[in-house]
A and B are shown apart, each in its own frame.
Chain A
């Protein structure tokens, strides 16, 4: 049964660590345009934090409320909350969002899934035999764009072998499909494929040739064994694996005083097993 993921420190909660780790990653997207969608409270915090720390010239689109570059300091629980558009520099119609998905106009984006597999494919459709699925997922929504946006970043708040599976029952967002170069036989070749996966336990990347998911760093408080035990396939495990660096005092200060003054992240459910 799933249990709450606990950070290895009293100083911060797991969703805060994940937001900080994502914000550091977004440093490489400074000046680029990306976005977050449904059920994305942690990536929303990360994008706002990145603008204040690692990526001052980031362009980011905040889901249903449709603001570009919002400057909220009280993190809303949903990107559709009107308060998620506070202090934006522009707004996008949903039709613009879809146009940009089709034309490959997004540089980066965050996507999650009911299942995520060893090649970074995402399933939002369901588990079991279609149409009377055993578990009906919420639907594909914008996960389709992992096939067109340049650099998808993946996340899940539940590190368990039920989410991290060898092969998705259905693919709603293409990752590296069956590995190697198989992705580019199907999707537009302007894209680079999934970059990283953030979970409560660890950060994963993908081996350059096989495109198999590879452990990159383990979050403080957990071990490689914890990660292996809760992952439904064999990860590529490099030697000399680092821990994810914990949030610095400065990162936590900015996060808690300029992004999430109400402490919403601390209450976000993150689980293992």
Chain B
């Protein structure tokens, strides 16, 4: 029986919620803990003209949205597939002039998110952090100001607010009290900086389970709008403690997009309407094998 105040919705409903928004933020690093099922659902539901505020490092989560043509503007810190190579969808979109990039970095995305989370209009950093680089020249959002107390020069990193934040949790109860295992804790600020927060989770746990494990609850649910139960919802990225990243699948994606065969990938892996149909495409034997590399 559902808890009073349950926020549980279907994957398809979550996809429609995401697609109604313009500025989307997410967490998860590289090929770890990306809310992939939510992203696929948003693409199926016609998400378009999005602005993306990614985590400081990102790979297929955001590259897939770009390759699918959903993204207009991208706040960049790092996007890449590490040993596989450059992010193919991102690279093609920029080189074709189809994607607006805000040339940021680790502090720009992190502190911009912190500012938005805390209600600060901007966060100043010492000018020496950026003066030796081309970032202030390429990114007009990095504005030079004077410290009103000391007169020292600073760059003001603006608050980066999002409409909708999407996250993948290992455990979450129906009220949105979530556990994110592994990673580096970018989720709380990302959630606080957004109007709507949607969480997909490997398991929906009871409120009793949350109460018994409160030290492991990394995000209290009061700001969470919706919870979606999606086992293997981070696939093909890793879900810490549950399964490893699917490297052969990442390569299938990487090769398809690089060869201009994005549509083949989308038809096979994004079009399936339910997570069960998606897992059929991936193959249950492949999925179970990933549990050995959690």
Q: Collect the chain B residues with CB atoms within 8 Å of residue A131's CB.
A: 94, 97, 100-101, 138
Contact A130 B138 (CB under 8 A): yes
Q: Is B260 positioned at the interface, with any CB of A under 8 Å from its CB?
A: no
Asked whether A41 lies within 8 Å of B83 as measured between CB atoms, the reply is yes
Identify the stretch in A45-53, A135-143, A211-219, A228-236 within 8 Å (CB) of chain B at 4 or more residues. Answer: A135-143
Interface size of A as a range: 35 or more
Segment at the interface with B among A22-30, A169-177, A198-206: A169-177
Q: State whether A80 touches B31 (Cβ < 8 A).
A: yes
Determine how close the nearest CB of chain A comes to the CB of B256; give it in whole angstroms.
19
Interface: B208 (CB within 8 A)? no
Size category, B interface: 35 or more
In the complex, which residues of chain A have a beta carbon less than 8 angstroms from the beta carbon of B30? 38, 64, 78, 80
Q: Which of B77, B133, B238 contacts A171 (CB 8 A)?
A: B133
Are A133 and B94 within 8 A (Cβ)? yes
Q: How far is the CA of A82 from the CA of B29 in the complex (A)?
A: 10
A interface footprint on B128-172 (CB within 8 Å = 1, 0 otherwise): 111111110010000000000000000000000000000000000
Please tell me if the beta carbons of B77 and A139 are within 8 angstroms of each other in the complex.
yes
When chains A and B are docked, how far (Å) is the Cα of A268 from the Cα of B96?
Answer: 30
- Give the complex CA separation of A52 and B249 in angstroms: 35
* Interchain CB contact (< 8 A) of A101 among B100, B106, B181: B106
Q: A138-B87, A144-B133 are in contact. Are A94 and B56 (CB under 8 A)?
A: yes
CA distance A174 to B134 in the complex (A): 9
Please name 13 pairs of A and B residues whose Cβ atoms are closer than 8 Å in the assembled complex, sorted by A.
A65-B184, A80-B29, A81-B244, A82-B183, A82-B244, A92-B184, A94-B186, A98-B110, A126-B94, A136-B101, A139-B76, A140-B104, A141-B106
Greatest chain B CB density within 10 A among A93, A144, A173 is at: A144
> Taking the complex as formed, is B182 at the interface, i.e. its CB lies under 8 A from any CB of chain A?
yes
> Which residues of A sit under 8 angstroms from B56, Cβ to Cβ?
94, 141-142
- Contact, CB under 8 Å: B86 / A138: yes
Bound-complex Cα distance A131 to B182 (A): 35
Q: Are A136 and B128 in contact (CB under 8 A)?
A: no
Q: Is the CB of A136 within 8 A of B95?
A: yes
Q: Which of A105-123 contact B (CB under 8 A)?
A: none
CA distance A140 to B102 in the complex (A): 11
Pick the residue among A132, A140, A148 that contacts B95 (CB under 8 A). A132
Is A66 at the interface (CB under 8 A from chain B)?
yes
Shortest distance between the CB of B183 and any CB in chain A (Å): 7
Q: Which of A39-84 contact B (CB under 8 A)?
A: 39, 41, 63-66, 77-78, 80-83
Q: Is the CB of A38 within 8 A of B131?
A: no
Report whether A78 and B86 are in contact in the complex, using a CB–CB cutoff of 8 Å.
no
Closest chain-A Cβ to B208's Cβ sits at a distance in Å of 27
New contact pairs (15) apart from A64-B57, A141-B106, CB-CB < 8 Å: A41-B83, A65-B183, A78-B245, A81-B31, A94-B110, A102-B107, A124-B78, A131-B101, A132-B96, A136-B90, A140-B78, A144-B130, A170-B138, A188-B128, A269-B83
List chain A residues, Cβ under 8 A from B183: 64-66, 82
List the B side residues contacting A147 at CB < 8 Å. Answer: 128-129, 132-133
Q: Given A133-B95, A138-B87, A148-B129, are A80 and B57 also a contact pair (CB < 8 Å)?
A: yes
Cβ-based interface call for B82 (8 A): yes
Interface string of B30-50 (1 = CB under 8 A from A): 111000000000000000000
